[in-house]
Structure 1
């Protein structure tokens, strides 16, 4: 089994209206429960808005501390799920289900080692 990170990328800007958000949350919870039932779920969580982030960037022997995500970004990491599955195809299947549930892009990436 290999662990994969399913990263949820969301656009900067306002969150969906409460009714739309409730439907998305229900769909995401259903996928999450299916992952648990299939024994592939390792961990998942959403993140606070990008404005709550702090970026640490090395600069010579110092580290520059800035608020928020990269300024040039139009989207940011909004949440993630870690799955433990037999192969990339299985990870992609879960990623597709998560993309449909969140209505957002999902990046699927294996962990090193």
Structure 2
């Protein structure tokens, strides 16, 4: 079982990685020089991929910030919906998750 301090360090390390990646994406998006039509079309496709990566990183960053807030409040590792402890195996895979398996978005509840 990992300690809250270990999980906090892991979340902070991941946050630093995401921030670096977001800076790289921004730098890449800002670095384009006008080219001919074919090059511009390829560049636009690449920009869309980079923007998707940036959005994904922002979403993960928000989840990490929220998890770090729950750590500060002493609420980390407990489902925000039901208050039950989140399974360690789930936290190993999704350390920023605020939900137990039962209350995770898209979880099957067994109801019709």
The verdict on a shared fold, with TM-score over 0.5 as the criterion, is no
Q: Which has the higher contact order (CA 8 A, sep 6+)?
A: 1
Higher-Rg structure is 2
Between structures 1 and 2, the one with greater helix share: 2
Between structures 1 and 2, the one with greater strand share: 1
When normalised by structure 1's length, the TM-score is: 0.32
